[in-house]
Amino acid sequence: MRSLVTGVTGYIGGRLVPELLDAGHEVRCMVRSAGRLRDQPWASQVEVAQADAADAEQAARALEGIDVVYYLIHTMGGGSDFAAADREAATTFAAACERAGVRRVVYLGGLAPDEKLSPHMSSRVEVGEIFLRSSVPAVVLRAAVIIGSGSASFEMLRYLTERLPVMTTPRWVGTRTQPIAIRDVLRYLVAWASVEGEVNRSFDIGGPDVLTYADMMRVYAEVAGLPRRLIIPVPLLSPGLSSHWVGLVTPVPAGLARPLVESLRNEAVCGEHDIARYVEDPPGGLVGLRRAVELALQRIKEAKVITRWSSASVPGAPSDPLPTDPDWAGGSLYVDARARRVDAAPEVLWAVVEAVGGEVGWYSLPLAWRLRGLLDRLVGGVGLRRGRRDPRRLWVGDSVDFWRVEEVERGRLLRLRAEMRLPGLAWLEMRVLTHRGETVYGQRAIFHPHGLAGHLYWWAIAPFHGLIFGPMLRNVARAAERGGLPESGLFPAAPGAFRDGGPKDAVPT
């Protein structure tokens, strides 16, 4: 089966392509700029058609030889003419599908009740009707809130719940909705590439749970291990004010928050489950909200950290982050990144890196590290008492004071995960790099906050980063430039053991 996926740089499209490939389908991706797919790991496995859905000639070329089309284009932000632009694109593309002899169009829209709708939800309904009126059989899947890391609806839920232990909220938090896990959405989409017969209708799709938005925030808090949230609805907040409030509290842009907020005014509960006649429910049933949130947070719980969730590699599950997700997706991640050229061979620098902790210490302000260890022990943590089992070599799983070795790429990367008591997850990365033939030491402190306490913790200690991580950067480099570890194998972990040399030019990691 030959499938064309539009909107491939979006949240659903970027996750649908690898699912279709895994199911054995031939995939062509339609995108306005082919360069945007260049770094996708699956780019070599698909055809790329550079086209605009509103351009009839370009659309015709993209549709040649295609059996099933996935239309995943819809404007979320933008000005007042977004509905006209969506109408024009859908009308032009539907006509192109007719001329190309496409067997089926699959469109993912929104779950809308029979009442006054927001402009964006009305536009989604209109686009679905355009395809249903076409001579090409169309399947319109209507979903409410989609739960998965990177989904705008889920990210808004995530940030509101994590950042506000007590919140005064608009009355739409009491509106009932039927969320659906991203893996169930993708399962439905992929299945329609193979369903036989001419089906031309819409289907409501949702998970097994029907609950209010306030209930969803409480479930998220429970799964994330946050204290129960106190939610106080305030009926005076309009959608416009609500969207600005969401934009203030969360990194979700206000222009994107507004259509999300407006859609939450309407109850979004499935009126039927007819899709089960064509696509059977999985053996274990559809994914419930609690499990969907667990899957969306699993990457963090497994402590596999990356620079930003938006620069992750292709995930192992649909709920994971993707490179095409926006910068605000995936939760907060604070990073203190530093780099410095080193006048030493890479292997000498690596020896210094691998010796960190234990008797050698942390290459900066030993007293501060000892105080942090003492504080950790006072609150029931492990402190610095564990040291390390080998003064020169580290292996994955080793303990290093109050850190655990999470990753070792011998000669290149040491990643430590914090095991001290923290309101979040923390990592320390030390890298040996080369830049234009020169040795470079790269260092990153990374923190994923847990609730409001985590954010406050980061900003409380941020002023001290220059005192801790700045000298650490310089002293690691200085130790390598002095020849690395002496024959005794240890540097003294005492104040003044490492003296700053002259300034070095920093280079980006």
**38-91: pLDDT as tens digits:** 768 888 899 999 999 999 999 999 999 999 999 998 876 555 577 888 899 999
Looking at residues 23-49, what average pLDDT do you find?
87
3-class DSSP assignment, residue 123:
helix
In this structure, the chain runs to a length of 509
Say what the pTM is: 0.67
Which spans in 225-317 are helix H? Answer: 239-249, 254-263, 289-301
Q: Is 349 in contact with 212 (CB distance < 8 Å)? A: no
Q: Is 384 in contact with 373 (CB distance < 8 Å)? A: yes
Is residue 484 over pLDDT 50? yes
DSSP letters for 399-426: EETTEEEEEEETTTEEEEEE-S--SEEE
Quick: pLDDT tens for 429-483. 999 998 888 999 999 998 988 878 888 888 888 888 888 899 999 999 999 998 8
Per cent of the chain over pLDDT 90 is: 40
Please name the residue that has the structure tokens 């090409």.
Answer: 136
Quick: pLDDT tens for 337-384. 999 999 999 999 999 999 998 888 888 888 888 888 788 777 766 677
The domains located in the chain, with CATH, are 2-311 (3.40.50.720), 334-481 (3.30.530.20)
The CA-atom distances, in angstroms, between 197 and each of 137, 205, 278 are 9, 20, 10
68-72, 122-126, 162-166: lowest mean pLDDT where?
A: 162-166
Quick: pLDDT tens for 287-332. 999 999 998 887 555 444 433 333 333 345 555 555 456 555 566 7
- 491 pLDDT band, cuts 50/70/90, is very low
3-class DSSP assignment, residue 34:
helix
Nearest Cα residue to 494 out of 351, 370, 387, 376 = 370
Q: Is 27 in contact with 46 (CB distance < 8 Å)? A: yes
Using only C-alpha atoms, the chain has a radius of gyration, in whole angstroms, of: 26
Strand-strand pairing, 180-181 and 146-147: parallel
pLDDT at 255: 63
Give whichever of 76-90, 216-230, 234-248, 278-292 has the largest mean pLDDT.
Answer: 278-292
98-102, 155-159, 259-263: lowest mean pLDDT where?
A: 259-263
Looking at residues 240-257, what average pLDDT do you find?
65
- Phi/psi for 54 (5° steps) reads -85, -5
Q: In this structure, which amino acid lies at residue 256? A: L
pLDDT at 275: 95
3-class DSSP assignment, residue 323:
coil
Q: Is 254 in contact with 244 (CB distance < 8 Å)? A: yes
